[in-house]
Structure 1
Amino acid sequence: MVGQLVQNTSPSSQPLLDVRALSLGFGASETNLLDGVRYSVDAGETLCIVGESGCGKSVSSLAILGLLPKGVARIREADIRFRGEVYDLSDPSALRRHRGADIAMIFQEPMTSLNPAFKVGEQIAEAVRAHNDVSKSEARARAAQMLARVGIPAPEARMNEYPHQLSGGMRQRVMIAMALANDPALLIADEPTTALDVTIQSQILDLIRDLQAETGMGTIMITHDLGVVAEIADKVAVMYAGVIVESGPAAAIFNDPQHPYTIGLMSSMPSLTGPRHRLATVPGTVPTIETMPKGCRFSSRCPFAQPVCTTPPPERSFGAGHTALCHFAPLDAMLEQSDG
């Protein structure tokens, strides 16, 4: 029933969303843009997917929601479970039923995601009516309730305003209200704090956490901001060139990174304590489909690359769900040799 908060739960024996294998290409290219992507998120858990721009973070989520352009994006492998059942990317009607109801997404830039020609209340009400058999007045009441729930003052008045009349932080809150209007089990947030000042960023992250604790929903946060990751993540998946190169509990990723790319990302973070020094960088850029290296996709930028890296790297396990794709993991010996 609309207006009734549903406690989202899933059996502890299985993830809420389990992406076992996701591969896709674009156009006529035989190279996969996403290649065997794997990750999972449980109810009440926050998974952060991190990596540089162009690594495929947003594309993977758009693929799961069926929002990539048909005829251009080509799904080549999709083994996905949602609440333990097969999640079929080839069934458009099933994707429409899930999208916005069971799985909702907050997009990166609300000004381009909200329709400038419609008042924000109408847009939230439309999302409610798309998945519930309710009247217009009931949908508007739910919209007002959601605006209040995300901390927008005078929600009845704000419902009658257009997106351009709201600040960036307010527009992002409207996007969150719309995403959560149907009490989804899973929220995907794509860079939800980009272009917001630090104070508003903190408010948005606190809001998502509070709503998550209230409803028990799982959350996938797509970001390149490792400060945000350190603050909110339960698990981290590090993506590079369309591949999850390392994943595991947030503490393991931050305290004991095992993939050279992850180490490079961590080294590029400025420290608030200790002596000042020049930040480390990862040389080069993310390869395009046309320039993708064979074997390890990070080999063209990796300081430890050897001839064996032209073959696909094995997945190494370090316990407690911590894994990395690297021929030389664990990297302690390599790092000691490099320092020496």
Structure 2
Amino acid sequence: MVTALTDDNDNLLSLRDVSLNVRGHAAPLLDGVSFSVSRGETLCVVGESGCGKSLTSLSIMGLLAPALSAGLRGSMEFDGQDIDLRDLASLKRLRGSRIGMIFQEPMSSLNPAYRIGDQIAEAWRQHNPGDGMDQALEMLRLVGIPAAERRLRDYPHQLSGGMRQRVMIAMALVNNPALLIADEPTTALDVTIQAQILRLIARLQTERHMGTILITHDLGVVAEVATRVAVMYAGRIVETGPVEAIFTDPQHPYTIGLMSSIPPLRGPRERLATVPGIVPSIETMPEGCRFSTRCPFARSECRQTPPLQELAMRHFAACHFAPLEHKLKGAA
């Protein structure tokens, strides 16, 4: 089991030892996931598809399907309050009020049968008195949608992808939450609109002093916006630390593989490095280190689960051979 990681005394959210078991399978989908987020900082959670990033965010929000939530274990502390992640009533009170979420695909997250203004106002009415239309109009203006009064009456299909994503941001922030979770908020957007959305989120975070969890597989986005990074692989946190440390001194073989796949901006064109293989399914999960079946450094020790250990100030990695430049060189 991976040890808990709470490395900041000003934590807004501390996730503690979250595991998700599925009936009939010995290996959990999430295994000991722990991290913390402070007010005003951006934690980027990265990893390939299938690594458990979205499952973790849905666990925080209390939005797992009933068949999955039955196997959920773990807790979180939010703004000084201890919450069992199976306490759906407590999570419902936080959801949309103290914790907002931007979902991955705005076209499927917005209801095509309701006007934009009504959908934002509904998010307000879940936690406040009044019809919420004034607040909806204010939020459309805040997120930079032109002709906001007219857009209140539009349906989702009448907006571009970038505008729909701005509506999702307006819905997530209408109740002024302390924490924002953004799950791949720039998916399917072109690079110009992507940059606009990221700048908007960063500006609103600064103005409101929110903590932010940004789930992404785009390392360019991570380099631009992250304060700290948590690298997930097969349901576990395998490395976490300040963004500078993760990019300049990665210590888990999986993180090194991810960083090696970034195309260089300068120099000769070369074939990009790849991480061979795929993320194992729950049926094929190896014992011990879950990356061992794809790791070039795997040895007999990897049949045991490595602990998440601190290598430098606030820089943790779950690898038997970390720091790699010392242990592997000595063993060569």
TM-score w.r.t. structure 2 length?
Answer: 0.95
In 1, the alpha carbon distance for the partners of 2:308 and 2:321 equals 10
Residue 334 of structure 1 deviates from its aligned partner by 5.8
Q: 1:333 to 1:320 in 2, by over 3 A?
A: closer
In the alignment, which residue of structure 1 is the partner of 2:62? Answer: 66
In the alignment, which residue of structure 2 is the partner of 1:326? Answer: 319
In the alignment, which residue of structure 2 is the partner of 1:89? Answer: 85
Give the number of aligned pairs. Answer: 325
In 1, the alpha carbon distance for the partners of 2:254 and 2:95 equals 33
Conservation of the 8 A alpha-carbon contact between 1:239 and 1:245: yes
Identify which range, 267-276 or 185-194, moves more after superposition.
267-276
Residue 73 of structure 1 deviates from its aligned partner by 3.6
Conservation of the 8 A alpha-carbon contact between 2:123 and 2:174: yes
Q: Describe the SS at the equivalent of 1:71.
A: helix
Residue 93 of structure 1 deviates from its aligned partner by 1.6
Conservation of the 8 A alpha-carbon contact between 2:19 and 2:73: yes
Residue 74 of structure 1 deviates from its aligned partner by 3.3
In the alignment, which residue of structure 2 is the partner of 1:264? Answer: 257
Q: Give unpaired runs (5+ residues) of structure 1.
A: 1-11
Conservation of the 8 A alpha-carbon contact between 2:41 and 2:210: yes
In the alignment, which residue of structure 2 is the partner of 1:131? Answer: 127
How well do the aligned residues superpose, as a CA RMSD in angstroms?
Answer: 1.4
**1:199 partnered with 2:192:** yes
Residue 317 of structure 1 deviates from its aligned partner by 1.3
Deviation string 1:254-304 (CA, Å, 9 cap, x unpaired) is 010000000000000000012221110000000001100000000000000
In 1, the alpha carbon distance for the partners of 2:260 and 2:195 equals 24
Which of the residues 134, 148, 169 maps onto 2:162? 169
Deviation string 1:144-201 (CA, Å, 9 cap, x unpaired) is 0000000000111001000000000000000000000000000000000010000000
Which of the residues 31, 34, 51 maps onto 1:35? 31
Conservation of the 8 A alpha-carbon contact between 1:304 and 1:334: no
Q: Deviation above 6 Å: which 4+ runs of structure 1?
A: none
In the alignment, which residue of structure 2 is the partner of 1:8? Answer: none
In the alignment, which residue of structure 2 is the partner of 1:304? Answer: 297
In 2, the alpha carbon distance for the partners of 1:321 and 1:72 equals 32
Q: Describe the SS at the equivalent of 1:58.
A: helix
Conservation of the 8 A alpha-carbon contact between 1:26 and 1:73: no
Residue 76 of structure 1 deviates from its aligned partner by 4.2
Q: Describe the SS at the equivalent of 1:127.
A: helix
Residue 89 of structure 1 deviates from its aligned partner by 1.7
**1:190 partnered with 2:183:** yes
Q: Percent of pairs identical after alignment?
A: 62
Amino acid of the structure 1 residue aligned with 2:144: G
In the alignment, which residue of structure 1 is the partner of 2:14? Answer: 18
Conservation of the 8 A alpha-carbon contact between 1:14 and 1:83: no
Deviation string 1:69-125 (CA, Å, 9 cap, x unpaired) is 112343442131101220222222211110000001000000000000000100000
In 1, the alpha carbon distance for the partners of 2:313 and 2:155 equals 48
Q: Describe the SS at the equivalent of 1:131.
A: coil
In the alignment, which residue of structure 1 is the partner of 2:3? Answer: none
Which of the residues 104, 124, 149 maps onto 2:100? 104
**1:80 partnered with 2:76:** yes
Q: Describe the SS at the equivalent of 1:288.
A: coil
Q: Give unpaired runs (5+ residues) of structure 2.
A: 1-7
In 2, the alpha carbon distance for the partners of 1:145 and 1:316 equals 46
In 1, the alpha carbon distance for the partners of 2:65 and 2:142 equals 34
Q: Describe the SS at the equivalent of 1:87.
A: strand
In 2, the alpha carbon distance for the partners of 1:13 and 1:283 equals 39
In 2, the alpha carbon distance for the partners of 1:65 and 1:200 equals 27
Q: Describe the SS at the equivalent of 2:33.
A: strand
In 2, the alpha carbon distance for the partners of 1:228 and 1:211 equals 17
**1:283 partnered with 2:276:** yes
In 2, the alpha carbon distance for the partners of 1:48 and 1:277 equals 28
**1:118 partnered with 2:118:** no
Q: Describe the SS at the equivalent of 2:312.
A: coil
**1:248 partnered with 2:241:** yes
TM-score w.r.t. structure 1 length?
Answer: 0.93
In 1, the alpha carbon distance for the partners of 2:289 and 2:70 equals 22
In 2, the alpha carbon distance for the partners of 1:145 and 1:77 equals 39
Amino acid of the structure 1 residue aligned with 2:308: E
Matches within 5 A, 1:128-167: 128-134=124-130, 136=131, 139-167=132-160
Conservation of the 8 A alpha-carbon contact between 1:27 and 1:73: no
**1:218 partnered with 2:204:** no
Residue 25 of structure 1 deviates from its aligned partner by 1.7
Q: 1:315 to 1:263 in 2, by over 3 A?
A: same
In 2, the alpha carbon distance for the partners of 1:81 and 1:291 equals 33
